[in-house]
């Protein structure tokens, strides 16, 4: 989350919202990003809310017809 987004964090007050913070996965901040497990944090928040977690696994190969999977 960038500095601009962090300034807006206080505006999100609803109990239904979850704020997850992590460094940007760029070469300049990769050391701060690796190990933060943002996708796991999203799934933990979803499960805590009684929702189904997201399957973040990418397909092994893209479809042969060039279409994106649903």
- Structure tokens, 8: 């807006």
Do 33 and 23 touch, CB atoms closer than 8 A? yes
Taking alpha carbons only, the member of 18, 48, 26 closest to residue 9 is 18
- Structure tokens, 35: 């190990």
Q: Where are the domains of the chain?
A: 25-51
Task: Give tens-digit pLDDT for 10-62.
Answer: 999 998 899 988 877 788 878 888 888 889 999 999 999 999 999 999 888 76
**Is the pLDDT at 1 greater than 60, yes or no?**
no
The predicted model scores a pTM of: 0.67
């Amino acid at each position: 989350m960038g500095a601009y987004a962090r300034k807006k964090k206080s505006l999100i007050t609803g109990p239904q919202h979850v704020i997850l913070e992590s460094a940007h996965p760029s070469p300049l901040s990769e050391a701060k990003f690796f190990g933060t497990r943002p996708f796991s944090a999203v799934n933990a928040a979803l499960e805590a809310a009684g929702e189904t977690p997201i399957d973040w696994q990418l397909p092994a190969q893209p479809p042969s017809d060039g279409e994106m999977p649903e």
